[in-house]
Copies of this chain bind each other. A is one copy, B any other.
Amino acid sequence: MQILTPHTEVVLKLLLPTHSKELFHLADTNRTHLREWFAWVDHTSSESDTQQFIQNSLSKLCGMTGFNCGVWYQDRLVGVLEIHDWKHTLYRAELGYWLSKEATGKGIMTSAVQGLTNYLFQELPIHALEIRCAVRNEKSQQVAIRCGFVLEGKIRQGTVTSQGFEDVFLYSLLREDWTRQHDTANQ
């Protein structure tokens, strides 16, 4: 089950248990790259940890609180894009993402986020999406900005990275922002 993106070579697929091996391998070969920002890396020591992660993702989908997509580029798994903290009473959810080191710098995640954003606003009763990026993580911020997300605040010590607590920027994209961009793009 996939979600198409504006870039024909970038495809999102719902992560299923059968992806465990490929996903664990991706994380395992990018430990240094990922450890910089993500504490989960050091708790992922075998394929069964990844399988549990994917199972938890399906449980989230079952409760409609989020889900995780793998990001495929030229038919190879290169990262993860997740929707989490989906709050139906507020019509809001949050996006999170990571790419393998090798896949960065090609606009892949920007396409992936655009694809997921289009899917969510077109198909689901979502009113706004949020992205949080560490203040120090400029690459991550670039994805949010390129996808039209608007900076709304700086949350002190809002994430935990290899450097300890760090400040994060909070961005959001309203349905009306998204509609305006699409109208402009289509003119």
Contacts and interface: CB of A to CB of B under 8 A. Distances in A.
A125 B16 CA distance: 11
A109 B119 CA distance: 24
Nearest to A153: B153
A62 interface: yes
Contact of A165 (B39, B127, B170): B127
A147 interface: no
Interface residues of A, number: 43
B155 A89 contact: no
B152 A128 contact: no
Contact of A14 (B14, B18, B159): B14
Interface of A: 1-4, 13-14, 16-18, 39-40, 55, 58-59, 61-62, 64, 85, 89-92, 119, 123-125, 127-128, 130, 150, 152-160, 165, 170, 172, 174
